[in-house]
Chains A and B, each alone.
Chain A
Amino acid sequence: MPDTILFYLFAGIAIGASTLVIGQRNPMYSIMLLITSFGALSALYIQLDAPFVAMAQIIVYAGAIMVLFLFVVMLLNAPQEDAAVWDRTHPLRRPGLGRFGALLAGLLIVQLVWTLLRVNEASAAVGARGDVAAISSVRSVGRVLFTDYMFAFEATSILILVAMVGAVILAAREPGR
């Protein structure tokens, strides 16, 4: 029973904080709320017997990626979303179309929830199968990562290298300007 209460608490925090992220005009507040949402998600990962993913969520997402976002927001010093001429003249910015899109998004959520509540496989308890000690140990995660997924792991290192070079080239000031 405490499991269920904690699940709904953290799921509510994650959804509420994410809703507020897209409701803010100041990107600084959005980033802080997104860090809150990531903390709640990492609690959900712990409930799913995945402590490695939970810690990586905190360290990599909240610690590294969000600090990069914060750094860029502070560097650009543009706290407010500018409601410029483009906003008023763009054909897709009319209020009726916005309400229609919001209605479609709401309908999508209703449809997904309705379907998922009707599928038999989805109503089985999530922790019923498998050995908890083997799934939650970092040792078994590492063993599978460095044997079955070795090629993907090495390809990821090349991806990181390419991203680093690309970021440096894109953000570098052009000579003579």
Chain B
Amino acid sequence: MIPLGHYLIVSAILFAIGTAGVFLRRNLITILLSIEIMLNAVNLTFVAFGRAQGNVDGQIITFFVMTVAAAEAAVGLAIVIALYRHRESLNPDAFQSLKW
């Protein structure tokens, strides 16, 4: 059987990749994708801990995280569309002024 720690290591690596993506990429859509990677890393942790404890609570928390991720993607992409309409750019450094 696979030890619990190996699932946690995979999850930690995925979370670090997502964090690096948020800081390194200069594209709003890729930054949102990196946030999805981080959410999935946390989901894997929840399911692995729930299985190690022998109950279904981890799966249920994962279900709620997926719902929040769907809401976050819908609102985030709407903001991206609104920003692109104003500046014709997806670079986050293009949006420095609070009002235009």
- Give A residues with C-beta under 8 Å from B: 3-4, 7, 11, 14-15, 18-19, 21-22, 24-25, 27, 30-31, 34, 37-38, 41, 44-45, 47-50, 52-53, 56-57, 60-61, 64-65, 68-69, 72-73, 75-76, 78, 81-84, 86-87, 90, 98, 101-102, 105, 108-109, 112-113, 116-117, 119, 121-131, 134-135, 140-141, 144-145, 149, 152, 156, 159-160, 162-164, 166-168, 170-171, 173
Q: Which residue of A lies closest to B34 (CB)?
A: A22
> Mind listing 14 A-B residue pairs with CB under 8 Å?
A31-B33, A48-B47, A50-B51, A50-B58, A68-B73, A76-B81, A76-B90, A84-B91, A126-B48, A140-B56, A164-B74, A166-B78, A170-B78, A170-B82
Number of B residues with CB within 8 Å of any CB on chain A:
73
Neighbour of A130 across the interface among B5, B27, B51, B63, CB < 8 A: B51
Main SS class of interface, B: helix
Interface set, chain B 24-66, CB cutoff 8 A to A: 24-27, 29-30, 32-34, 36-37, 40, 43-44, 47-48, 50-60, 62-64, 66
Tell whether, in the assembled complex, residue B57 and residue A160 are in contact, meaning their CB atoms are under 8 Å apart: no
- Contact surface of B with A, Cβ cutoff 8 Å: 1-10, 12-14, 16-21, 23-27, 29-30, 32-34, 36-37, 40, 43-44, 47-48, 50-60, 62-64, 66-75, 77-82, 84-85, 89-91, 93-94
